[in-house]
Amino acid sequence: QDYGLAALVLGKKGRPVSPRGLIFTEDNINSLLMQRYLSAKVRRGGGKTKGPPAFTQEDRDSFLVSLRKLIE
């Protein structure tokens, strides 16, 4: 879930995957980092942002599918 760490891993030609099964790529990391920046800016201004939803069995299953895809 750490977009900054995922960006660093991508820079080293790694293949990061989130606990919910999202495979981070060069195509999606910039928008995720921008979203993180904008949320932090709102919080610094006194606003509130929602946290992630509760982790579900579907999230676990998505992670396993993505992990298998990466190691095959």
pLDDT of residue 51: 84
Neighbouring residues of 26: CB distance < 8 A, sequence distance ≥ 6? 10
Mean pLDDT over all residues of the chain?
95
Tell me the pLDDT tens digit for each residue of 38-62. Answer: 999 999 999 998 888 999 999 999 9
User: Could you give phi then psi for residue 33, rounded to 5 degrees?
Assistant: -65, -40
- d(CA 38, CA 25) in angstroms, rounded, equals 20
Tell me the pLDDT tens digit for each residue of 17-39. Answer: 999 999 999 999 999 999 999 99
Tell me the pLDDT tens digit for each residue of 58-72. Answer: 999 999 999 999 998
- d(CA 19, CA 22) in angstroms, rounded, equals 7
Query: What does the block give as tokens for 33?
Result: 């980092």
Report the predicted TM-score, pTM, of the whole model to 2 decimal places.
0.84
- d(CA 34, CA 18) in angstroms, rounded, equals 17
